[in-house]
Structure 1
Amino acid sequence: MAEKKQQEQADEGRKAIFKIPNTALLAIAFLTVCVTPIALGEIQGLEFLYLAPILLAVFVIRTRTVASAKGLAIRTMFGHRDVPWSALKGVVITKKSKVRAVLTDESQLALPTVRTRHLPVLSLVSEGRLPDPSGVLYQEREPAEDTGQSEASPQE
């Protein structure tokens, strides 16, 4: 059974998951502890304050962008959308350095948790369908010329 699952994962190809780190849940737990004296204090009816940590936890757990060989799977707090690579024209970087996908119909789609530093990874996962604007993946090192001398300690 485990071998079958590993084979299925190998057939999918590369996959990248961009999400909010789970350590953010520690801050939410701390917020819950801080809200408790107010919510359960002498004033009745403040239990609704527990909604804030619950909603934040759902946001952290749910929001993500998954890039695979098939395309992008964008999941927000209230929705989910799959975008195949063929429907993607490119990406746009906003003034706040957020990444938005441009579809073939010229509409834009926000990519939650994807930042400009993730563009080389998106290019790698898309297998070149999305070009890498930074050029990190395509830098070629020029071979050093063999002069018979060591570069660390030149001989005179």
Structure 2
Amino acid sequence: MPKVVFRIPTPALFAALAAAVCATPVAWAAPGLQAIYLLPAAFAWWVLRNRTTVDGERIVARGTFGGRVVPWSDVKAIKVVPKGWLSAVLTDDSLVRLPAVRAAHLPMLSQVSGGRVADPTAVSATAEAEEEPAGPDRDETPPPVKSEE
């Protein structure tokens, strides 16, 4: 059974490393400022922890401090947010956020779910195939005729 793991790209950890390196002069300027290292460490934890695992039977959404397992039978729909993470709408109308899953992942999500999630690219491809090819765009008015005087 295929399984897909959606996660935040690991190169984001370079940002945490860069922040830790840049914070070093400030962190060692006075006693107690070493706590500033908690910010890059928290960001690294967030990158490593947030993920969504999807297979044919269930969705496992793991957030920063917890996780949730949702069987496909409890999923009514997928809420699509154009510039954010998707959410699963459950049969009781509650939402479960799917970390690291974006609208661009819908075709893969559809394939792994066994068709429980509609693939928007397949729908548009089918609609385009059903349309009859149109002729070249023509202007209905005849072109102006040049008169020789």
Q: 2:25 aligns with which of 31, 37, 42?
A: 37
- In 1: Cα distance, 2:84 partner to 2:113 partner: 21
Question: CA shift at 1:135, angstroms?
Answer: 2.0
Paired position in structure 2 for 1:26: 14
Residue among 49, 58, 76 paired with 1:62: 49
Q: 8 Å contact 2:82–2:103 — kept in the other structure?
A: no
Q: Which has the higher strand share?
A: 1
Q: Which amino acid aligns with 2:93?
A: E
The number of residue pairs the alignment matches comes to: 129
For structure 2, the 5+ residue unaligned runs are 130-149
- SS of 1:98's partner is coil
Residue 91 (structure 2) aligned to one of 75, 95, 104: 104
Task: Return the TM-score normalized by structure 2.
Answer: 0.79
Structure-2 residue corresponding to 1:9:
none
TM-score normalized with structure 1 length: 0.75
1:147 corresponds in structure 2 to none
Q: Which residue of 2 aligns with 1:85?
A: 72
Aligned-residue Cα RMSD (Å) equals 2.1
What is the CA distance between 1:140 and its match in structure 2?
Answer: 9.6
Change (3 A) 1:22 1:137: farther
Give the aligned partner of residue 4 of structure 2: 16
Greater Cα radius of gyration, structure 1 or 2:
2
Instruction: For structure 1, list consecutive stretches of 5 or more residues without a partner in the other structure.
Output: 1-12, 143-156
Work out which of the residue numbers 102, 106, 110 in structure 2 matches 1:123: 110
Poorly superposed stretches of 4+, deviation over 4 Å = 136-142
Any conservation in 1 of the 2:81–2:103 contact (CA below 8 Å)? no
Distance of aligned partners of 1:58 and 1:69 in 2 relative to their CA distance in 1, 3 Å threshold: same
Matched, 1:74 2:29: no
Distance in 2 (CA, whole Å) between partners of 1:24 and 1:96 is: 18
Q: 1:136 to 1:15 in 2, by over 3 A?
A: farther
Task: Evaluate the alpha carbon distance shift between residue 137 and residue 21 of structure 1 in structure 2; reply closer, same or farther with a 3 A threshold.
Answer: farther
